[in-house]
Structure 1
Amino acid sequence: KQLAPKIEDLRKKFKKEFDLRNALKIARIKEEVEKGNLDLKALILNGLRVDYDEIKKIEELEKYERILDKYKSQSLKLLNWGEFFEIKSAIRYSAINVKDDINFWIKIIRDFLTHVEDIKLKNNIFYELMYALFKTNQTWKEDEITLIEYLKSMESELNLEVLKQSSILFNLFFGEFQRERVNSSINTIFELRDLLLNNLNKSILNSKTDMRKANLEFSVFLIQSSFSPEEYKLILDEDDKGYILWIKRFFVGLDRLIDIIENVQYFDFSEFYNTFIGIAERVEVIKDHPNYDEILSKVASLKNKYEGNNSTVVDLMKRGIELYENKKYLQAIRQFQVVKNKSFNPDKLYTCLYSVYYIGECYNKLGLFYAAKYYFMVVFNLANEMDVEYNVKQLTYSCGMDRIVMAAYNLKNVLEGLYYTSISLI
């Protein structure tokens, strides 16, 4: 009853379906795109529900194919930043979506590297080459000497973008070393690590703006997310203390970075968020740290605050389900409560209802049947009250009724259980 006014307001404000990926509508959009009539305002006014993600995919593919045709027909003629940005967008698209083309782009970019003289442009091109090799799991051995020279050249580098790229490449290089896919020694790895950190710390001291300092600190964090010499030696000796020291240092560095970046005018919070998520996915032990969920929520909030969206909800929900499946029910409840609060809006309605459902499941697993029944009834009634235009009627039964019946029987309320069983059969 308390939610009813809010639901009614939302219904009036957002009269639309939520399942936008309708095949016929997507076909219509594609048809309009092919005709060159992609006027979104006109499409919307004509009643066509537009799937913006689908349009973005179409536009990205068209852009890629246009660039591919250009370089296949005339090869590389100009050596400038305009050509570089075209090749960069194409090679990144190809590395993820069209891997059969990647060797063509690697040949183009190697040709670019051979002839270009501008050092800054050369550094950017080299980064894209190594990115393409890494994304397609190709060996770095052919370019290893060039990579070492590139990293050594960072000793006096000042450009923020190049410094960040060198930090990323160093971490990837260290990873290739640990997988025995390069010929360099561990001494070379740690010499490069010290060189990069020394230059970054010197640059931080000489920085005049908080924005520059914050971005340099992010590069420091990237490099320090790799093992230190002391940690690596302990790990080689099969001493778990090495991992313990690394985890402790990682979270100290993370807390410090968050304190710095949350007060700056500009920072790429999306990149920071994706980096944190990516490291946690690769190093599972990070998720076992007692502060992980609190920091995840804080990093997600920073990203949402500056970008004004709820794109992090999916990852928060994924984390909640992971905790649930690992039987960490109290942690999972806290996580799903965060998801519920963040996703109570029309665009995230499915996620909101499922988060409430999972809270009930957690209480059910803990044997707290009254609490479980409460949440199951909330999600059942909330789904049932939603206007049919929200397209969530299926949640009425998939997220509630059978669970209410089960909770009633667990509470020895046989008559109530029979009542809800009869409703479920209607």
Structure 2
Amino acid sequence: MEYGHGYGRGHAAGAGHRLPPALRAPFEARTWREFGYVLLSLPLSVVLFSWTVTMVALGAGLLVTFLGIPVLAAALAGCRGFGVLERARARGLLGLEVADPEPLRTRKPGPAAWMGALLKSGSSWRHALYALVQFPWAVFTFSVAVTFWTCGWGLLTYPLWFWVFPAYAGEGGLQLYGDAHHSVYLDNPFEITVTALVGLIFTLVTPWLVRALTTVDGLLVRGLLGPSPLSARVVELESDRGTVVDTAAADLRRIERDLHDGAQARLVSLAMDLGLAKEKLREDPRTAARMVEEAHGEVKTALQELRDLARGIHPAVLTDRGLDAALSAVASRCTVPVTVEVDLPARPAPAIEGIAYFTVSELLQNISKHSGARTAAVDVWRTEDRLMLQVTDDGVGGADVSRGSGLAGLAARLDAVDGVLLVDSPAGGPTRVIAELPWRPGA
């Protein structure tokens, strides 16, 4: 928890729109981009559908020969290429950010390995499924959107162009009904006004209808053209594993540094002092006795440093008595009075218990160094399958994970075990930090 001052304030919000969203939607750029997306979907889906059906059918038919596999691989490669275009179109017109699917992984170089990777890739077949599903959906959305759009604007602007019928068609206006005996034309002021009002309704409804249709398009793109949940989870686990490895390496370096600069250096000095005392034992017993006494003090200091180092690796009180006693011991060493309340039905797994202990320990150290608080509190409890930790203080506030401080490293460590770190620290305080860890029962 690192604290600071000088928080910037966001710019004041601009003047609000005078028109409500329902009235300004037909004129918004977002509406026209979504309508453009629907218009482009039909021709692109025709090309993609034709390519996929033709190539897959041809490849399946040629599987009895050696040509079937290359043709199928080319079909899937083409689908993946269209997928790049579709993701870019969704990003540009719908504002939908969809990550690229997992890349092909080949163990050996060469065309055969590449074709095998294409045919084994679930992402490639999802692209082909997208081509088959997108075509009928694109036909439907194009028909609905264009019909509503043209009818809405056409009827809304009818008072501006109804004169075309008597001037050039020899009719009173737009024909609403007609048979061999009777015809109804929209030609008087009342009918023209009602027609414009109906067009207004269509015009106001159309943007929301198009938005609903493109929402389904977004789900198709995200679900079939993006990375699969399994691959995303694998990437996340690989990242978490890297975080854990880096954290373990950093801890080993810290332990080595503490041993080298602390206890080891002190013990080397102690050995030299005892050697000098041994030499002076016969010549000057009084000086030797004083040197031994000083060495005895150094031994006590070295032992304390080793205890502190061992406590930093894994405190014995945590192993023997659990979180309540261990956190109380940490709180007693904090420079700020800390109240500790632990309400757990049982002890969690040792790994989770250790992470919880070191999380609270680091937060209390930050309070001592940076907060300027008068009091602090630690609360630990269990909620369903989560272990909850809350550390609060009445200090100056200003803690921010995004600044790359110690909180950022702590958040990364928690994320590596499916944990979450939430920080609420406005300028002037108070500060509240909540950490969530998965609950795993102890043995």
Establish whether TM, by shorter chain, passes 0.5. Answer: no
TM-score category of the 2 structures, normalised to the smaller one: under 0.3
Structure with max Cα Rg: 2
Give the TM-score normalised by the residue count of structure 1. 0.24
More helix by share: 1
RCO greater where, 1 or 2, for CA within 8 Å and sep 6 or more? 2
